[in-house]
Amino acid sequence: MGMSGVVQDTEPGQAYFGIPARPAREAHKMNSALAKLPGLLSKLRRPEEVPVS
């Protein structure tokens, strides 16, 4: 059984995910982006060398 935190009326026939409940597609995109954050933070801490003209 799944769990979502629903705080308002939802659209009939739509899939929701997460707490708070969000449209499933939006929630999955957010989770995907969250998984990429550690790599992005590493790049920010150690920027690649930029050639000087």
- Per-residue pLDDT at 52 exceeds 80: no
- Per-residue pLDDT at 1 exceeds 90: no
DSSP-derived secondary structure letter, 21: T
Number of neighbours of residue 15 by Cβ within 10 angstroms: 14
Give pTM, 2 decimals.
Answer: 0.61
Specify the pLDDT at position 49.
66
Specify the pLDDT at position 31.
93
CB 39 within 8 A of CB 33: no
Specify the pLDDT at position 9.
83
Q: Per-residue pLDDT tens for 2-50?
A: 666 777 788 888 988 888 888 999 999 999 999 999 998 888 887 666 6
